[in-house]
């Protein structure tokens, strides 16, 4: 059973419908991860709906490609609030439930941007937020490792998602991205999903505090 939590009700409901069409139980919960109260309400709804939460995947994220000197306070705050604060609010809410049961898995979606600086596009706030996600992951893993909760992250490179497709239409960007990726291509969403599945499963039962990079080799350089 899956709880799909999203700010966008339309896309969230579409995801639920797709899961249900495969014969699985799913429910939609609207949430604004920028607000800790909304996150707490989401977690309560998920527990009420399914009885417990075994796995949390933090996947909310935004990016705005603006030169740092031209960015507004709100540009910075929006990115940090969604990408970094939201991850912590969700981890905290889930842990309050998981630690009581001494069982649970959290997988945070970070980015290779948390360990390298992308080019040619400017995205300082995004890079900072994703570096923070990696450190949140390691810090919480250290706190909760002996209490039954594993915390890991996945750091994708360029993946063919809606967020990335806009950049792929800019030849200057896409040519650089592909040239700097040893495998010479963008990844597919399933590549990230498989990494999440591994970290969430018992196949990774001895892994915590790990940042699994799925970037076609981009960060090798």
| pTM tops 0.85, yes or no | yes
- Cite the active site residues: 126
N-to-C CA span, the chain: 40
pLDDT of residue 166: 85
Q: What is the CATH number of the domain that holds 71?
A: 3.40.50.720
The count of domains in the chain is 1
Q: Please indicate, yes or no, if residue 16 is contained in any of the structural domains.
A: no
For strand 149-156 and strand 211-214, is the pairing parallel, antiparallel, or unpaired? parallel
Task: Find all residues with CB under 8 Å of 73, minimum gap 6, and list them.
Answer: none
Evaluate whether residue 23 is within a structural domain: no
Q: How many CB atoms lie within 10 A of CB 85?
A: 19
pLDDT by position in tens, the chain (length 221): 999 999 999 999 999 999 999 999 999 999 999 999 999 999 999 999 999 999 999 999 999 999 999 999 999 999 999 999 999 999 999 999 999 999 999 999 999 999 999 999 999 999 999 999 999 999 999 999 999 999 999 999 999 998 898 899 999 999 999 999 999 999 999 999 999 999 999 999 999 999 999 999 999 98
pLDDT computed for residue 209 by the predictor: 99
| Residue 192 dihedral angles phi and psi, to the nearest 5° | -75, -40
Q: What confidence score (pLDDT) does residue 165 get?
A: 87
> CA triplet 162, 154, 115: central angle to 5 degrees?
95
Q: Kindly state the DSSP code that residue 83 receives in the 8-state scheme.
A: I
Q: Judge whether 9 lies within some domain.
A: no
CA atoms of 37 and 24, how far apart (whole Å): 29
Q: Does residue 171 form part of some domain?
A: yes
6 forms beta bridges with 30
CA distance readout (Å), 146 to 47, 56, 136, 162: 23, 18, 17, 38
Q: Minimal CA–CA distance to 194: which of 220, 214, 172, 208?
A: 214
Q: Which domain holds residue 173?
A: 56-220
């Amino acid at each position: 059973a899956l709880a799909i939590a999203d700010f966008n009700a339309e896309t969230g409901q579409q995801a639920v419908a797709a899961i249900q069409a495969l014969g699985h139980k799913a429910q939609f919960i609207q949430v604004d991860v920028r607000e800790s109260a909304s996150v707490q309400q989401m977690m309560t709804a998920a527990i009420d709906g399914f009885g417990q939460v075994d796995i949390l995947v933090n996947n909310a994220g935004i990016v705005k490609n603006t030169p740092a000197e031209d960015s507004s306070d709100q540009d910075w705050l929006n990115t940090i609030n969604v990408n970094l604060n939201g991850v912590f609010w969700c981890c905290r809410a889930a842990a309050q439930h998981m630690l009581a049961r001494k069982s649970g898995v959290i997988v945070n979606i970070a980015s290779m941007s948390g360990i390298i600086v992308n080019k040619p596009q400017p995205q300082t706030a995004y890079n900072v937020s994703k570096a923070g996600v990696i450190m949140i992951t390691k810090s919480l893993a250290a706190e909760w490792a002996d209490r039954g909760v594993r915390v890991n992250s996945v750091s994708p490179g360029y993946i063919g998602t809606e967020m990335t497709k806009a950049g792929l239409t800019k030849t200057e960007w896409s040519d650089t991205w592909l040239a700097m990726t040893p495998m010479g291509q963008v990844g597919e969403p399933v590549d990230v999903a498989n990494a999440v599945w591994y970290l969430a499963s018992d196949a990774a039962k001895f892994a915590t505090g790990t940042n699994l990079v799925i970037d076609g080799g981009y960060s090798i350089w």
